[in-house]
Chains A and B, each alone.
Chain A
Amino acid sequence: MDVRTCLIVDDSRIIRKVARRIVEGLGFEVDEAADGIEALSYCVGLMPDVILLDWNMPVMDGLTFIRRLRTQAGGDRPKVLFCTIETAPERIAEALGAGADDYIMKPFDGEILHSKLSEVGAV
């Protein structure tokens, strides 16, 4: 049986916990990373099926992370959904242009996450 894995990347521990609860409720195995560097080193070991990605993080932000990810071997596989308070259309377009599969504006709930995961074919 294929277990779907989701990596939650956000510098806020609280947000990671809240998102974890929702994502586990949708049947995913969840792991966490606090910034882009941690997320990259996780992915080198195991490419997750889905990545929920914050934008503004210390050390390495979400935009830099996804650009690096997509150049890695197998880096085109994960469905990457930005998950951020940024709502400006130019920023959303920038994220999509950098290789994100979709974009979730915070705050979000289980309904929206499920809808967005369906959009990218992850559920």
Chain B
Amino acid sequence: MTQDDFDRLQALLSSRAGFRLGRDRIHLAEHRLAPVARREGFDSVEALLATLWVKPVASLGWAVIEALLNSETWFRRDRAVFDTVAREVLPAIGRARPEGRVQVWSAGCSSGQEAYSLAMAGLDAGANIDIVATDLSMRALDKARSGVFSAFEVQRGLSARMMLQWFEPAEDAWAVRPALRNVVRFARHNLLDAPTDDARFDIIVCRNVLIEMEPARRGQVVDYLERRLVDDGVLVLGVEERIDGDSIAFRPVGGRSGLYVKSPSAVSRAA
């Protein structure tokens, strides 16, 4: 891949998705775009990109962007943080809400393992849980909606007991049971887009997404998350992520890594 092509890819990901494609990923980019070129009927990645730069068709552009996102995910990722959400946060919020209703947003859900993990935790806790799971990638969302996972995927992050409880065999793979499907809804959403309605969530799980974004964009994304969170809600980040200077809207929960609540200034601003 030429340096020029890579520069343009960086610009494409940055402008459309706020995603930072580091220089160290140039070979990964080649590798990831080869199947896209094949699917779209191009002889090579170069040919695909040459067409894209000359005639920027949205669907082709998004196919390229989707392929370059870091979509790796697994069930109950970052177990310590996940367990805190499952065992402490979900039950506590359920107890404080009418009819135990807890609204959760899995922001950047990829192929759905996080959303389904949250569903398992919520149902186990007896919470009346409702999960909206969003991502930029249509391909990942299709997989998430199917609820079908390979034997490899279903064994990473889940005990055999949980697998039996929440999945049923589907040919060579495993399908999520209706009880889980019924509480999760998948939709496409770009975190760079401002909220367009008043829907608010009790828990927003946005893990390993901010770390992939351009530092200059993170503050805006965090502010949009703040607008989507109820005043006494909880924001959950990835175990290596910090809000730090990106925004003053949140403060960390003492003694609970990965968890954030609204800072007093954010709450009074909304009132």
Contacts and interface: CB of A to CB of B under 8 A. Distances in A.
A102 B74 CA distance: 18
B164 A89 contact: yes
A116 interface: yes
Interface residues of chain B: helix, strand, loop or mixed (majority): helix
Contacts of B51: none
A99 to B, nearest CB: 13
A111 B156 contact: yes
Interface in B160-214: 160-161, 163-164, 168-169
Residue from A93, A100, A119 with most neighbouring chain B CB atoms (10 Å): A119
Interface residues of A, number: 19
A105 B157 CA distance: 14
A73 interface: no
Contacts of A96: 160-161, 164
Residue from B160, B163, B168 with most neighbouring chain A CB atoms (10 Å): B160
Interface of A: 87-89, 92-93, 96, 100, 102-105, 108-109, 111-112, 115-116, 118-119
7 contacts: A87-B169, A88-B169, A102-B160, A102-B161, A104-B155, A108-B152, A118-B79
Interface of B: 74, 79, 151-152, 155-157, 159-161, 163-164, 168-169
